[in-house]
Amino acid sequence: MATVTSEVAAEIEVLTTLVRRMFPHASFPDAPYERCAAAIHAAGDDDPRLRAQLGQGIRELQARGFADLSEDDALALLREISGTVFFQAVRAKTVTTLYDDREVWALLGYEGASYDQGGYLERGFADLDWLPAARIEEAS
Protein backbone atom coordinates (compact mmCIF):
# COMPACT_ATOMS: atom_id res chain seq x y z
CA MET A 1 0.00 0.00 0.00
CA ALA A 2 1.37 3.41 -0.98
CA THR A 3 2.30 5.85 1.74
CA VAL A 4 0.32 9.08 1.71
CA THR A 5 2.43 12.16 2.35
CA SER A 6 1.16 14.95 4.56
CA GLU A 7 0.88 17.19 1.47
CA VAL A 8 -1.30 14.65 -0.35
CA ALA A 9 -3.39 14.10 2.80
CA ALA A 10 -3.92 17.87 3.09
CA GLU A 11 -4.96 18.10 -0.57
CA ILE A 12 -7.42 15.22 -0.17
CA GLU A 13 -8.82 16.89 2.94
CA VAL A 14 -9.46 20.10 0.99
CA LEU A 15 -11.07 18.10 -1.82
CA THR A 16 -13.24 16.25 0.71
CA THR A 17 -14.48 19.55 2.14
CA LEU A 18 -15.04 20.90 -1.36
CA VAL A 19 -17.04 17.87 -2.49
CA ARG A 20 -19.16 17.94 0.68
CA ARG A 21 -19.88 21.66 0.17
CA MET A 22 -20.67 21.15 -3.52
CA PHE A 23 -22.94 18.14 -2.90
CA PRO A 24 -24.26 18.48 0.66
CA HIS A 25 -26.19 15.55 2.09
CA ALA A 26 -26.71 15.81 5.82
CA SER A 27 -27.30 12.07 6.13
CA PHE A 28 -24.05 11.06 4.40
CA PRO A 29 -21.12 10.05 6.60
CA ASP A 30 -17.60 11.21 5.75
CA ALA A 31 -16.46 7.98 4.07
CA PRO A 32 -18.18 8.42 0.67
CA TYR A 33 -16.89 11.99 0.43
CA GLU A 34 -13.39 10.87 1.38
CA ARG A 35 -13.43 8.08 -1.22
CA CYS A 36 -14.64 10.51 -3.86
CA ALA A 37 -11.93 13.06 -3.00
CA ALA A 38 -9.26 10.35 -3.09
CA ALA A 39 -10.52 9.22 -6.52
CA ILE A 40 -10.40 12.78 -7.84
CA HIS A 41 -6.88 13.21 -6.50
CA ALA A 42 -5.80 9.85 -7.97
CA ALA A 43 -7.20 10.82 -11.38
CA GLY A 44 -4.60 13.58 -11.42
CA ASP A 45 -1.85 10.94 -11.29
CA ASP A 46 -2.81 9.79 -14.79
CA ASP A 47 -3.53 13.21 -16.27
CA PRO A 48 -0.85 15.92 -15.95
CA ARG A 49 -3.28 18.67 -16.99
CA LEU A 50 -5.78 17.63 -14.31
CA ARG A 51 -2.97 17.34 -11.76
CA ALA A 52 -1.96 20.96 -12.47
CA GLN A 53 -5.58 22.15 -12.31
CA LEU A 54 -6.15 20.36 -9.02
CA GLY A 55 -2.91 21.68 -7.56
CA GLN A 56 -3.68 25.26 -8.46
CA GLY A 57 -7.32 25.06 -7.37
CA ILE A 58 -6.47 23.43 -4.04
CA ARG A 59 -3.75 26.01 -3.32
CA GLU A 60 -6.21 28.82 -4.03
CA LEU A 61 -8.82 27.27 -1.73
CA GLN A 62 -6.22 26.81 1.01
CA ALA A 63 -5.06 30.41 0.61
CA ARG A 64 -8.64 31.62 1.07
CA GLY A 65 -9.20 29.45 4.15
CA PHE A 66 -11.97 27.46 2.48
CA ALA A 67 -12.06 24.71 5.11
CA ASP A 68 -12.82 27.25 7.84
CA LEU A 69 -15.44 29.32 6.00
CA SER A 70 -19.02 29.46 7.19
CA GLU A 71 -21.58 27.67 5.06
CA ASP A 72 -22.74 30.95 3.48
CA ASP A 73 -19.21 32.18 2.77
CA ALA A 74 -18.23 28.80 1.32
CA LEU A 75 -21.28 28.87 -0.96
CA ALA A 76 -20.37 32.37 -2.11
CA LEU A 77 -16.84 31.21 -2.92
CA LEU A 78 -18.18 28.18 -4.79
CA ARG A 79 -20.39 30.45 -6.88
CA GLU A 80 -17.39 32.66 -7.57
CA ILE A 81 -15.22 29.78 -8.83
CA SER A 82 -18.01 27.79 -10.51
CA GLY A 83 -16.86 28.78 -13.99
CA THR A 84 -13.27 27.67 -13.51
CA VAL A 85 -11.80 24.59 -15.13
CA PHE A 86 -10.85 23.34 -11.65
CA PHE A 87 -14.44 23.54 -10.36
CA GLN A 88 -15.86 21.92 -13.48
CA ALA A 89 -13.34 19.07 -13.33
CA VAL A 90 -14.11 18.38 -9.66
CA ARG A 91 -17.86 18.59 -10.29
CA ALA A 92 -17.74 16.19 -13.24
CA LYS A 93 -15.62 13.65 -11.38
CA THR A 94 -17.81 13.93 -8.28
CA VAL A 95 -21.01 13.20 -10.18
CA THR A 96 -19.52 10.03 -11.64
CA THR A 97 -17.78 8.93 -8.43
CA LEU A 98 -19.86 9.95 -5.40
CA TYR A 99 -23.13 8.74 -6.86
CA ASP A 100 -21.59 5.47 -8.05
CA ASP A 101 -20.64 4.53 -4.49
CA ARG A 102 -22.67 1.59 -3.16
CA GLU A 103 -22.84 3.16 0.31
CA VAL A 104 -24.41 6.25 -1.26
CA TRP A 105 -26.84 4.03 -3.16
CA ALA A 106 -28.00 2.53 0.13
CA LEU A 107 -28.31 5.96 1.74
CA LEU A 108 -30.43 7.21 -1.16
CA GLY A 109 -32.56 4.06 -1.33
CA TYR A 110 -31.29 3.00 -4.76
CA GLU A 111 -31.17 -0.77 -5.05
CA GLY A 112 -28.85 -0.83 -8.03
CA ALA A 113 -29.36 -2.08 -11.55
CA SER A 114 -32.40 -4.29 -12.10
CA TYR A 115 -31.67 -5.96 -15.42
CA ASP A 116 -29.85 -8.89 -13.84
CA GLN A 117 -32.77 -9.41 -11.44
CA GLY A 118 -35.55 -9.43 -14.03
CA GLY A 119 -36.28 -5.71 -14.11
CA TYR A 120 -38.49 -3.59 -11.89
CA LEU A 121 -41.93 -4.63 -13.12
CA GLU A 122 -42.22 -7.50 -10.64
CA ARG A 123 -39.54 -6.21 -8.23
CA GLY A 124 -39.95 -2.75 -6.81
CA PHE A 125 -41.88 -1.00 -9.57
CA ALA A 126 -44.42 0.47 -7.15
CA ASP A 127 -42.47 0.64 -3.89
CA LEU A 128 -41.96 4.40 -3.87
CA ASP A 129 -42.86 5.17 -0.28
CA TRP A 130 -41.85 8.82 -0.58
CA LEU A 131 -44.60 9.68 -3.12
CA PRO A 132 -48.24 10.16 -2.15
CA ALA A 133 -50.65 7.45 -3.25
CA ALA A 134 -52.00 7.89 -6.75
CA ARG A 135 -55.44 9.41 -6.91
CA ILE A 136 -57.47 7.24 -9.22
CA GLU A 137 -60.78 8.55 -10.43
CA GLU A 138 -63.17 6.80 -12.73
CA ALA A 139 -64.33 8.72 -15.79
CA SER A 140 -68.03 9.45 -15.68
The low-confidence residues of the chain, meaning pLDDT below 70, are 1-3, 120-128, 139-140
Say if CB 39 and CB 104 are below 8 A apart: no
pTM across the whole model: 0.80
Say if CB 34 and CB 103 are below 8 A apart: no
At 126 the pLDDT is 65
At 1 the pLDDT is 47
Say if CB 112 and CB 105 are below 8 A apart: yes
- Whole-angstrom CA distances from 89 to 19, 86, 94 are 12, 5, 8
At 120 the pLDDT is 67
